[in-house]
Amino acid sequence: MNLIKLSKKIIRYTKKLNSTNLSSLRSGNVSIRAKKKGINGFFITPSGVNYSSLKPKDIVFVSLKGRFDKKKGKPSSEWRFHQDIYVNKKDAKAIVHAHSTCATAVSTHQKSIPAFHYMVGVAGGEDIKCAKYATFGTRNLSRNILSALKNRSACLMSNHGQITFGKNLDNAFELAQEVENICHQYINAIRIGIPKLLSKKEMKIVLDKMKNYKKD
């Protein structure tokens, strides 16, 4: 994919954050792993630009060493955890970070989402972890996110939102929608009491089946 097409795809999905209510106004960010002039890195949404007015030239390239051309704009203030995920997760080709309503609400409890429904397995484990709180844009937040993403492709971020990655941007965005839906279901489930949870054995069966979930 050439760089213009890549930038346009990022813009399209960034606007979808708004249109699907995954994030409002300028919140959230999107990135795609890529190379530019032989340098490994990623393209990411910029800082402080209204998503409705984004143009391909606004999308910022950041190297995996965290370098970017300041003359061409500033990347999202949260570029560091995108960088750290790409460095540590070789299967991460695209990342979606959203302040979606239900995921953010659940994240304020600073607890993982347990196996109240088998679909928590879409994140890759028997629960969806919640990363410990740290100030946005800091290396501490990156470390906490990487810990919560161990053996998983999605997590909540305490008092913040959610983050997902995938083999492409379509995949990462769909996963973010799945996480938001799971959080919506969980909020409703706990309103009527404490849900009965699936056992580790039951979730192992689910996770084995989910390895081929998208192939069926």
What CATH number was assigned to the domain covering residues 3-210?
3.40.225.10
Which helix (H) or strand (E) covers residue 18, if one does? helix 3-19
- Residues with catalytic function: 78
pLDDT at residue 213, as a whole number: 63
pLDDT at residue 1, as a whole number: 65
pLDDT at residue 91, as a whole number: 96
Residue 147's CB is within 10 A of a number of other CB atoms, namely 12
Measured between alpha carbons, how far is 138 from 116 in angstroms, rounded to an integer? 32
**Could you tell me the residue ranges of all domains in the chain?**
3-210
pLDDT at residue 41, as a whole number: 97
pTM (predicted TM-score): 0.94
**For every residue of 163-209, which 3-state class applies, written as one string?**
EEEECCHHHHHHHHHHHHHHHHHHHHHHHCCCCCCCCHHHHHHHHHH
Residue type for position 118? Y
Q: C-alpha distances in angstroms, 165 versus 30, 48, 84, 171? A: 10, 23, 12, 8
pLDDT at residue 67, as a whole number: 93
Residue 1's CB is within 10 A of a number of other CB atoms, namely 10
Measured between alpha carbons, how far is 155 from 162 in angstroms, rounded to an integer? 6
pLDDT at residue 56, as a whole number: 92
Residue 156's CB is within 10 A of a number of other CB atoms, namely 28
Measured between alpha carbons, how far is 214 from 204 in angstroms, rounded to an integer? 17
> Can you give the pLDDT of all 216 residues of the chain as single tens digits?
688 899 999 999 999 998 898 877 677 899 999 999 999 999 999 987 888 888 999 999 999 999 998 877 899 999 999 999 999 999 999 999 999 999 999 999 999 999 999 999 999 999 999 999 999 999 999 999 999 999 999 999 999 999 999 999 999 999 999 999 999 999 999 999 999 999 999 999 999 999 876 554
Measured between alpha carbons, how far is 9 from 175 in angstroms, rounded to an integer? 17
Q: C-alpha distances in angstroms, 14 versus 33, 72, 85? A: 15, 19, 19
pLDDT at residue 216, as a whole number: 43
Cβ(44)–Cβ(84) under 8 Å? no
